[in-house]
């Protein structure tokens, strides 16, 4: 599975929308679950999920299989966005 996701990321880096849809279909439920550990509001969680996949689209060219597996790279992006959102909300309070 990891090799398949890596191949999809490579295609996404070349702006292949079909690869993006496949990548989303295979990974979104896991990302949504990870976001749920940090974001209680389902609407906000959905919004952050969209931002995560926009970030995938924009930064797939930076993915390095020597550093992360595709799943770990994606979950790291999602976790960072959730933490940034949480830290930003805490700072605003």
- Return the domain boundaries, the chain: 2-92
Residue with tokens 């992360």: 68
Q: For residue range 6-26, what is the model confidence (pLDDT) as tens digits?
A: 999 999 999 999 999 999 999
Q: How many residues does the chain have?
A: 93
How far, in Å, CA of 45 to CA of 66, rounded?
30
Q: Is 48 exposed, middle or buried (0-12, 13-18, 19+ CB in 10 A)?
A: buried
The CATH code that applies to domain 2-92 is 1.10.1740.10
pLDDT (tens place) for every residue of the chain, 93 residues total: 678 999 999 999 999 999 999 999 999 999 999 999 999 999 999 999 999 999 999 999 999 999 999 999 999 999 999 988 866 655 555
* pTM assigned to the model: 0.88
């Amino acid at each position: 599975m990891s090799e398949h996701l890596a191949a999809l990321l490579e295609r996404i880096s070349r702006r292949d929308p079909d690869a993006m849809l496949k990548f989303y279909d295979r990974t979104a439920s896991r990302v949504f679950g990870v976001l749920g550990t940090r974001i209680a509001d389902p609407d906000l969680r959905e919004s952050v999920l969209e931002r995560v996949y926009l970030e995938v689209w924009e930064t797939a060219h930076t993915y390095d299989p020597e550093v992360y597996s595709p799943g770990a790279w994606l979950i790291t992006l999602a976790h960072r966005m959730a933490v940034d959102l949480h830290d930003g909300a805490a700072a605003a309070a």
